[in-house]
Amino acid sequence: MVHYLSALYKGVIVPHINTGGDAVAVAGAARYHPEGHRGVGGGRAHDYGVEVSRGESTRWINSQMLVIPMVEDTEAVENLDEILAVPGVDVLHVASGDLGQSMGNPGPGEVRELMRQVIPRIRAAGKMVGVGGNSPADAAGVAEFIKLGAQFVTISAWGLLRLGAEDFRRRVQAEL
């Protein structure tokens, strides 16, 4: 089953988070005290379109913040357990393109195999997992990652639009 995140959530996706220390820094910078050390500048933190008292707004904003480090390097895979242990990390997003580059560009088969190992490890740790670098033409590949536990899938909007337009053109031509 695919779960859709509430439209109220705000988030930050940060590339190349390779260590637990990197993840701690990101989680702390993204949230307000007491969960982090994000700066509270002149009411900006309280102006997110939600009616909450000032005393409770930072707590509410923290509860709506998704911190999403990207696993894009083999170093991150090697340090995955320490990254997974960081409080305040909500989703780990595994990006195939940069991951493949960090592997020396071995080809999509080897990258997918590593992703097949990483996705269940993230889910087993109780974190949400995202996958990136997916081709909109590869529905079977996307479905495989979802079956492995991915809940956050990024796909090129332009690619989806192109596929939809090509399908529409074929159906129109079939009617002519």
Average pLDDT over residues 128-154: 94
171 φψ region: left (φ > 0), alpha (ψ -120 to 50), beta (else):
alpha
CB neighbours of residue 127 within 10 Å: 19
Average pLDDT over residues 19-45: 85
Task: Determine the CATH number of domain 10-30+65-175.
Answer: 3.20.20.60
What is the pLDDT at residue 39?
77
**pLDDT tier for residue 2 given thresholds of 50, 70 and 90:** very low
CB neighbours of residue 32 within 10 Å: 18
What is the pLDDT at residue 3?
47
| Predicted confidence (pLDDT) per residue in 82-93, tens digit | 999 999 999 999
| Predicted confidence (pLDDT) per residue in 149-170, tens digit | 999 899 999 999 999 999 999 9
Domain limits of the chain?
Answer: 10-30+65-175
Q: Write the CB contacts of 80 (distance below 8 Å, at least 6 apart in sequence).
A: 71, 92, 118, 121, 122
The structure tokens 């909450």 sit at 52
The structure tokens 């909500």 sit at 90
